Amino acid sequence: MAERILVVDDEPSMREFLEIMLSQDGYQVNVASTGEEGIKIYRLTEPDLVLTDVRMPGMSGLDLIREIHTVDSAVPIIAITAYASADDALRAVREGAYDYLSKPFQVEDLRIIIRNALEARRLRRENLDLRRSVEESYRFGDIIGKSPEMLDIFNLISRVAPSKASVLILGESGTGKELIAKAMHQWSPRVGKPFVIINCTAIPENLLESEMFGHVKGSFTGAVANKPGLVEAAHTGTLFLDEVGELPPSIQAKLLRFLQEREFRRVGSNNDRKVDVRVIAATNKKLEREIENGHFREDLYYRLNVIRIRLPPLREREEDIPILVNHFLKKFAGEQGKEIRKVSSLAMRVLCKYGYPGNVRELENIIERCVTLEQSDQLTAENLPPRLAESTDNAGGSAEAEIPPDGIDLNRTMENMEKKLILRALEITGGNRSRAARLLGISFRSFRYRLVKLGMDHEEAVET
């Protein structure tokens, strides 16, 4: 399909010339005589490139560039004017024009600029498509990961989701067990039907049976009307039993009967009710140990454990940390309206070396904190919680300083150490000298003195 070009010029002869020339070159061309008409045609046709005169009555070319880029900041716009004014050129480029030509211009120059602009747009789109393709290959619903363990889980979900089999998800707190359950539901024939969560730790034991299975009027004090339970609410859909290992023995027995017969009784009723639900359970407990200790029914365990999915803790899949960091950075920067587009190399190293006892949930909270505190255009290590740096330092061990038999040059050794600390402080603060000085616990004047003394007074550091 021919690439589309929009020509906007108030001079009829120029519009006609450009329309004929570009059409002969194989482009699909639309023309407009005013900026107002140009924006209307742009919205209707969504061209791949725009040629616009700068000085036009009414909406100027600069206004048009501004307006188009509020719709699509990536579309290349070439500004043309009869006035060989450096100011016009500068303003057009500042507004986002790809390039600038003054009338009269060489036709071949225009052809080259158009080809280059369209080629740059094609490459940008291909890179974006490739990035999206890569990102999608590391996603399954709302779950993100590229480690072999996570890719195996994605594959298992895709095979198991269409079935009715019960699934037991095992994993530490914060690993994303609920996300796995939701993905299972979304990829099943039950998508669009209820997805009901019962948090087995959040409901008091004396209310749990009523919340799960419902009750009839008068069955206990406060039961002033018949009330269906969460099991009924999940009819035709999926019932997710979160932290099922916390269920008390009395409820375990009733859940077992429900799984065996697919029927239950409301509290205070003698009538059985049937529902069609797919049951997914999750726990952070080792249920085999709970069975040995007499805290969990073995027969219930086997009913739940038809398909077993173990979610590894984040510390066992370090290769997933960078893509999770970037995912949460994009999420929270967007929510907070901040232009933070990358993570400093030092911050990423610290994030990748931390052990994450709270797993993915803890990482998400850390990135939210960093985005909230960050004032630059990149996420820096300065705003990471102190426990991350401490954990990273401890992980590296605390080897004692050694002195070789020939001795050492103490002054040179201390100078090298001082240089390393200053460079690290500058790296953490993105080159900001004032913040680096505060990080090292010294005054800005002392910091400047040390830079000069050590021959490190480079001008790229920022003094704010």
Write out pLDDT tens, residues 149-187.
Answer: 998 999 899 999 999 999 999 999 999 999 999 999 999
Q: Are residues 165 and 297 in the same domain?
A: yes
Q: Is the pLDDT of residue 55 over 90?
A: no
What pLDDT shows up at residue 443?
A: 81
Task: Specify the higher pLDDT residue, 90 or 365.
Answer: 365
Does a structural domain hold residue 147?
A: no
Q: How far apart are CA 17 and CA 81, in angstroms?
A: 15
Q: Are residues 27 and 106 in the same domain?
A: yes
Does a structural domain hold residue 53?
A: yes
Q: Are residues 200 and 296 in the same domain?
A: yes
Helices (H) and strands (E) counted in the chain, each on its own, are: 19, 16
CA atoms within 13 A on the CB side of 44: 10
Q: Are residues 265 and 378 in the same domain?
A: no
How does pLDDT run across 338-364, given as a tens digit for each residue?
A: 989 889 888 898 899 899 999 999 999
Q: Are residues 11 and 76 in the same domain?
A: yes
Bridge partners (DSSP) of residue 30 are: 6
Q: Are residues 177 and 50 in the same domain?
A: no
Q: Are residues 305 and 238 in the same domain?
A: yes
Q: Are residues 294 and 319 in the same domain?
A: no
Q: Are residues 111 and 18 in the same domain?
A: yes
The domain boundary residue, chosen from 296, 312, 328: 312
Range of the domain at 65: 4-133
Structure tokens belonging to residue 176: 């994303």
Does a structural domain hold residue 459?
A: no
Q: Are residues 173 and 285 in the same domain?
A: yes
Does a structural domain hold residue 458?
A: no
Q: Is the pLDDT of residue 397 over 60?
A: no
- DSSP element (H, E) containing 170: strand 167-170
Q: Are residues 183 and 243 in the same domain?
A: yes
As a whole-number percent, the residues of the chain with pLDDT over 70 amount to 90
How does pLDDT run across 239-272, given as a tens digit for each residue?
A: 999 999 999 998 999 999 999 988 998 988 889 9
Assign residue 39 the CATH number of its domain. 3.40.50.2300
Is 304 in contact with 244 (CB distance < 8 Å)?
yes
Nearest to 302 by CA among 284, 283, 287, 286: 287
What pLDDT shows up at residue 462?
A: 42
Does a structural domain hold residue 379?
A: yes
Does a structural domain hold residue 155?
A: no
Model confidence band, residue 398 (pLDDT cutoffs 50, 70, 90): very low
